[in-house]
Amino acid sequence: MLLWLLPPVAWFSVFILVPYAMLFWYSLGHTEDMRFVPGLSLANFARVFTDEPYLGVILKSARIGLMTAILSAIVAWPLAFVIAFHTRSASVKFALYLLVIVPWWASYLVKAYAWKTILGTNGILNATLQGLGFTDEPVRLFLYNEFSVVLTLTYIFTPFAVLSIYAQLERIPTSLVEAAKNLGAGGWEIFWRIVLPISVPGIIAGGIITFSLAFGDFVAPVLVGGSDSVMISNIVINLLGVAFDWPMAAAIGLVIITLGLGLISLTGWLEEKTKVRL
Amino acid sequence: MTTGIELRDLRKRYEGHGGAGSWAVDGVDMQIGRGQFVTLLGPSGCGKTTTLRMIAGFEVPTSGQILRDGVDITDQPVTDREMRMVFQDFALFPNMTVAENVAFGLKTRRMKGRFGAAEMRRRVGEYLDLVHLGTHADKRPHQLSGGQKQRVSLARALITDPDVVLFDEPLGSLDAHLRKVMQIELIRLHRELNKTFIYVTHDQDEAMAMSDAIAVMNGGKVQQFGTPREIYDRPTSRYVAGFIGHAHIVEASVVESGASGLSVRLGNGEVVRLDAPASLQRGEAVGLMLRAEDLSLAKPGDGELHGKVSDSLYRGEYIEYVVDLKGGAGTVHVHEPTHAAPFAHGDDVALKVNPAKAHVVGGA
Amino acid sequence: MRAFGNRPFVLSLASLVLFFLYAPLLVIVVFSFNDSSYTGLPFNGFTLHWYADLLSNRQIMGSIWNSVYVAVGVVILSVVFGLPAAIALDRYEFPGKGIFRRIVMLPIVLPGIITGVALLSFYLTLNLKLSLHTIMLGQGTALMCITITEVFARLQQMGKSQTEAAVNLGANDWEVFRHVTLPGVRSSLFGAMLISFSISFDEIAVTFLLTGRENTLPMTLWSLLRREVTPEVNAAATLIIAVSVVLIVIGMYASRGKGAAGSEGR
């Protein structure tokens, strides 16, 4: 037993527990002339909740994460549904599955950058709108705001949402659909009363990961976000790279780690709560 | 106009890869009277489930017709057929309670307005009681045993009061004891509710015990359609004779046949007389169907057939002897009461044939 | 009769989603061939100019090799430490098991930047110089849970009976691992390795703070994208998409083939 357990436990102690402990040590101190001064003060944690813009940005990042998770689930559902329920041939199913996976593995940066090309003032969308005569001047609304950040993140995470919803839908036995039809239920009734409720665990499993990844994203805000769409990871980077305020960055990190642990527990609870035993 | 379900030359072909295909159902004609309990019986792949699924509307026939009370319903959508089905895997909705599952058929849009909320509750209670599950209304399907799940599935099918209930091997996933209990339950429900039951199974005991009529199927065709007694006592083909019960078929040829009965000669020259009137050609090759319970053992010289005991198996209710007939004419099984004098391996014995029950099936 | 609902309606919805997924990729690919130094309409004509530029760009080409080096290291770390972790979680009950599982999962729900901050403070305290190896250690920690969860799920699915049969027939620990456990988890381990490699190749959040003098490909692209967008980036992106398509198809077919062979054996 020790043979199997010792290496991973050692690894995670050295590379997670020790660094987190150090983070804690840093968070208790402060900086003077860009140099770290050890201390035993909780002032930095208080600042997370009182000073601008920390708490506000954390909440905004959470909002963006939540919208991304919800939107990508909504966009993903019909495609997952078609693969799981409307594709009879195994090879067509496999082909559709590949079509979903390819954009998921295509480079993250490239995908964010693609939306910049599309939404920009000289982008495809504006060129098309002007070409069609809908507008004379480029529409600036598309890019550099929260909408473009959420759209880009939704685009990035939709394939993942498709995969996790599909995994759940595929497990639904055909006989459930047949039983419902046999009892006189129409398509919408089967959707609302049976298939959608059973797909909820898949939506949640994918949604939690999507939420977390979108919450901590710093690429989209820089590439397609505006001056007001800074997210928490951008703040942390600035604290380290520009302000050299290590203790503050460490405090924010610890607050987020605590939130993350809470999220893991919430996930377990939600999974138990919505579990459908097929 | 005929009432009930009628199948006319029903066929279903499944296409395989590269033009290969096969007829799962290959010309089935059948009349199922209203209120009857009819079983489609056969081994897996015989087309019984496909036939049932065409009646339910889950499969579209390649050709042929399905009529209900004289009306062609071949192209009617499943949702409109109002024939309820009980599935082998129960197909209970896992996201609903037992009561919600049972109420499902009453809550569909097409049923809207037919039942008030109070009436619906009363009815759900009534049907849960009917299947002895009154105290389990708020449980989830995964909290129930297999037998309980199947009862929920039954109540769900029955609650909308359909004329026709379809069963796709409903007891297939239950253990032997529970199967017996559920068989009695199904017979009771059929008697009380007076609905047409169409039942698919590969278990002949189940089919014999419950059905008004059995259709023995093989290779996509109905081999014989008749009452359990007809199927058992007077099978019309070697296939049916061999499929039902403990029957062994011994090759024989007709010695004489007429209104008073029939005599056949076995390969070893021994002759057996049967009571059943027949009109067969003298010398015609037939199969003599000998069931274990229609034979009895005696001392050599005391019966029309002779042979040697090769094995004896103690079965509790009876002793089963395996007897090799003289001159290699065939092998038969014989059930003897346990209190009769026992025979041992290697004993020479005579066999008495019950002339009222022995039966011949045509063709070599 | 699995399908339900209005088929033309659901098929058109799904097609719209596929359009949404592919339109942006298509834009990148098309403009990588556009004979204009600016990404956007109009389309001036076909050129391979940007690909030529890309191949002669030493910074980008160098960073590709750096990325491969890091990704290979991450895969090796994930297998060496992740496989034992999965086996231990599957086989044994030990004090702190629940906490161990949570800690393993933590880097997946945490923003990569936070993992980066924690590791950076650790490296700085130890006076470790930032290099490709510090990136490797950071990504390895963050991505190890992929291998652990994939292999753990497979082990749970396998159940204990095979191991018990092997022990009953006199196999020792090593023989059980060599002949039962490893063949059993092979396909999911392979899948996890492939996933870890691709994520590592594309990773930017953890990497961001741990990068020294040498850059990985995403970091190089990032600096290019922040400064100024040149069609060279389109060309690089197109190549990345092409390579990932090839890798995915190979990976999927390989794991599908193995899965089928496995089910035949059962």
- Number of CB atoms found within 10 A of residue B283's CB: 9
Mutation site, C93, C110, C115, C239, interface A, largest A CB count within 10 A: C110
- Number of CB atoms found within 10 A of residue B218's CB: 19
Closest residue in A to C248 (Cα) is: A102
Calpha distance A27→A41 (Å, rounded): 8
Shortest Cα–Cα distance, A105 to chain C (Å): 7
Per-residue pLDDT at A278: 72
What is the DSSP annotation of B319-333? Answer: EEEEEEEGGG--EEE
Domain boundaries, chain A: 47-169+201-254
Q: Which of B172, B201, B233 is the last residue of a domain?
A: B233
Contact A110, C28 (CB under 8 A): yes
C14, C102, C144: residue with CB nearest A82: C14
Residue C118 to residue A16, Cβ atoms within 8 A: yes
pLDDT grade for B41, boundaries at 50, 70 and 90: very high
Give the pLDDT confidence of B182-204 residue by residue, as tens digits.
999 999 999 999 899 999 999 99
- B247 versus B11: which is more confidently predicted? B11
Q: Which residues of A touch C100 (CB under 8 A)?
A: 9, 12
A20, A79, A246: residue with CB nearest C17: A79
Contact C90, C108 (CB under 8 A): no
Hey, which bits of B174-269 come out as E strands?
A: 196-201, 213-218, 221-226, 247-258, 261-266
Q: Can you tell me the mean pLDDT for B53-75? A: 94
Contact C43, C32 (CB under 8 A): no
Calpha distance B207→B131 (Å, rounded): 21
> At B122, which CATH number?
3.40.50.300
Calpha distance C74→C139 (Å, rounded): 7
C3 touching B, CB under 8 A? no
Per-residue pLDDT at C255: 62
Contact B196, B163 (CB under 8 A): yes
pLDDT grade for A262, boundaries at 50, 70 and 90: confident
Pair B164, B72 in one domain: yes
Per-residue pLDDT at C41: 64
Closest residue in B to C2 (Cα) is: B58
Shortest Cα–Cα distance, A86 to chain C (Å): 5
Distance of CA A44 to the CA centre of its chain: 27
pLDDT grade for B311, boundaries at 50, 70 and 90: very high
Interface residues from chain B to C (CB-CB < 8 Å): 58-59, 78
Per-residue pLDDT at C10: 95
pLDDT score of A113 more than 90: no
- The tokens for A201 are 């665990």
Residue A178 to residue B87, Cβ atoms within 8 A: yes
pLDDT score of A174 more than 90: yes
Pair B189, B260 in one domain: no
Residue A184 to residue B108, Cβ atoms within 8 A: yes
Residue B203 belongs to domain spanning: 5-233
Using alpha carbons, select from A77, A61, A153, A68 the residue that is nearest to residue A115: A153
What backbone phi and psi angles, to 5 degrees, belong to A224? Answer: -120, -5
Per-residue pLDDT at B226: 95
In the three-class reduction of DSSP (H, G, I as helix; E, B as strand; rest coil), residue B334 is classed as strand
Using alpha carbons, select from B256, B298, B243, B273 the residue that is nearest to residue B359: B273
- The tokens for C197 are 């490699």
Residue A183 to residue B87, Cβ atoms within 8 A: no
- Provide CB contacts within 8 A for A62, sequence distance 6+: A215
Contact B86, B170 (CB under 8 A): yes
Pair B43, B75 in one domain: yes
Pair B22, B104 in one domain: yes
Q: Is B309 within the bounds of a domain?
A: yes
- The tokens for A252 are 């924010």
Pair B71, B143 in one domain: yes
pLDDT above 90: percentage of residues in chain A: 42
pLDDT grade for A260, boundaries at 50, 70 and 90: confident
Q: Can you tell me the mean pLDDT for C153-162? A: 86
How many domains, in total, are found in chain B? 2
- Exposure string for B23-47, b = 16+ CB within 10 A, e = fewer: bbbbebebbbeeebbbbbbbeeebb
Pair B157, B199 in one domain: yes
ipTM above 0.85, yes or no: yes
Closest residue in C to B53 (Cα) is: C1
Using alpha carbons, select from C9, C25, C2 the residue that is nearest to residue A78: C9
Q: How far is the CA of A116 from the CAs of A109, A222, B254, C48, in angstroms?
A: 11, 11, 93, 23
Residue C103 to residue A99, Cβ atoms within 8 A: no
Q: Is A219 exposed, middle or buried (0-12, 13-18, 19+ CB in 10 A)?
A: buried
Calpha distance A87→A96 (Å, rounded): 9
Per-residue pLDDT at C39: 63
Pair B159, B129 in one domain: yes
CB pairs under 8 A between A and B: 71
Contacting chains of A (3 CB pairs or more, <8 Å) are: B, C
Q: Can you tell me the mean pLDDT for B99-105? A: 94
Residue B109 to residue A176, Cβ atoms within 8 A: no
- The tokens for A28 are 């208790």
- The tokens for B167 are 């069963």
What is the DSSP annotation of A16-35? Answer: IIHHHHHHHHHHTSEEETTE
Calpha distance B144→A200 (Å, rounded): 23
Q: Can you tell me the mean pLDDT for C111-118? A: 88
Calpha distance B36→A94 (Å, rounded): 46
Calpha distance B153→A230 (Å, rounded): 55
Distance of CA C154 to the CA centre of its chain: 19
Residue A124 to residue C40, Cβ atoms within 8 A: yes
Task: Out of A218-227, B103-112, B159-168, C154-163, give the one with best mean pLDDT.
Answer: B159-168
Question: What superfamily in CATH does domain A47-169+201-254 come from?
Answer: MetI-like (1.10.3720.10)
B95, B108, B140: residue with CB nearest A183: B108
Q: Which residues of B touch C1 (CB under 8 A)?
A: 58-59, 78
| Segment 257-276 of chain A within 8 Å of chain B by CB | 276
pLDDT score of A166 more than 80: yes
Query: Half-sphere exposure of residue A197, counting CA atoms within 13 Å on the CB side?
Result: 15
Residue with tokens 């189940």: B206
Q: Is B241 within the bounds of a domain?
A: no
- Number of CB atoms found within 10 A of residue B330's CB: 22
Q: Which residues of C touch A174 (CB under 8 A)?
A: 1-2
pLDDT score of C263 more than 60: no
Q: What is the pTM of this model?
A: 0.87
Calpha distance C232→B75 (Å, rounded): 60
Shortest Cα–Cα distance, C166 to chain A (Å): 17
Calpha distance C209→C121 (Å, rounded): 10
CATH 1.10.3720.10 for domain C57-227, yes or no, is: yes
Calpha distance B150→B165 (Å, rounded): 14
Calpha distance B252→B360 (Å, rounded): 9
Pairing relationship of beta strands B164-168 and A30-32 according to DSSP bridges:
unpaired
Q: How far is the CA of B158 from the CAs of B142, B290, C55, in angstroms?
A: 21, 42, 72
Pair B250, B228 in one domain: no
Q: Which residues of A touch C4 (CB under 8 A)?
A: 85, 177, 180-181, 187, 190-191
pLDDT grade for C265, boundaries at 50, 70 and 90: very low
Shortest Cα–Cα distance, B71 to chain C (Å): 24
Calpha distance C226→B275 (Å, rounded): 102
Question: Could you tell me the sign of the dihedral formed by the alpha carbons of C244, C246, C247, C252, in that order?
Answer: positive
- Exposure string for C48-84, b = 16+ CB within 10 A, e = fewer: ebbbeebeebeebeebbebbebbbebbbebbbebbbb
pLDDT grade for C261, boundaries at 50, 70 and 90: very low
Residue C240 to residue A106, Cβ atoms within 8 A: yes
Calpha distance C209→A19 (Å, rounded): 14
3-state SS string for chain C: CCCCCCHHHHHHHHHHHHHHHHHHHHHHHHHCCECCCCCCCCCCCECCHHHHHHHCCHHHHHHHHHHHHHHHHHHHHHHHHHHHHHHHHHHCCCCCHHHHHHHHHHHHHCCHHHHHHHHHHHHHHCCCCCCHHHHHHHHHHHHHHHHHHHHHHHHHHHCCHHHHHHHHCCCCHHHHHHHHHHHHHHHHHHHHHHHHHHHHHHCCHHHHHHCCCCCCHHHHHHHHHHHCCCHHHHHHHHHHHHHHHHHHHHHHHHHHHHHHHHHHHC
CB pairs under 8 A between B and C: 3
C23 touching B, CB under 8 A? no
Q: Which residues of C touch B58 (CB under 8 A)?
A: 1
Calpha distance B291→B293 (Å, rounded): 6
Q: Which residues of B touch A180 (CB under 8 A)?
A: 93, 104
Q: Is A18 exposed, middle or buried (0-12, 13-18, 19+ CB in 10 A)?
A: middle
Q: Is C169 exposed, middle or buried (0-12, 13-18, 19+ CB in 10 A)?
A: exposed
Shortest Cα–Cα distance, C176 to chain A (Å): 13
- Provide CB contacts within 8 A for B207, sequence distance 6+: B39, B41, B199, B201, B214, B228
Cis amide linkage into residue C218, ω under 30° from 0: no
In the three-class reduction of DSSP (H, G, I as helix; E, B as strand; rest coil), residue B300 is classed as coil
pLDDT above 70: percentage of residues in chain B: 98
Per-residue pLDDT at C52: 87
Contacting chains of C (3 CB pairs or more, <8 Å) are: A, B
- The tokens for C209 are 């703070």
Shortest Cα–Cα distance, C259 to chain A (Å): 14
Pair B313, B287 in one domain: yes
Residue C208 to residue A237, Cβ atoms within 8 A: yes
Task: Out of A143-157, A256-270, B294-308, C11-25, give the one with best mean pLDDT.
Answer: C11-25
Which secondary-structure segment (H or E) carries A250? helix A246-274
Pair B255, B225 in one domain: no
Per-residue pLDDT at C264: 29
Mutation site, A91, A174, A175, A182, interface B, largest B CB count within 10 A: A182
Residue B108 to residue A189, Cβ atoms within 8 A: yes
Per-residue pLDDT at C228: 65
Using alpha carbons, select from A223, A79, A104 the residue that is nearest to residue A157: A104
A91 touching B, CB under 8 A? no
Residue B89 to residue A194, Cβ atoms within 8 A: no
The three-point CA angle C154-C160-C162 to 5° equals 95
Per-residue pLDDT at B18: 66
Shortest Cα–Cα distance, B138 to chain C (Å): 28
| Segment 159-188 of chain A within 8 Å of chain B by CB | 173, 175-176, 178-186
A183, A184, A276: residue with CB nearest B94: A276
> Which of the residue ranges B144-148, B199-203, C125-129 would you say has the lowest mean pLDDT?
C125-129
Give residue B207's identity as a one-letter amino acid code. A
Residue A15 to residue C39, Cβ atoms within 8 A: no
pLDDT grade for C259, boundaries at 50, 70 and 90: very low
Longest dimension (CA), chain C: 73
What backbone phi and psi angles, to 5 degrees, belong to B303? Answer: -150, 170
- Provide CB contacts within 8 A for A171, sequence distance 6+: A278
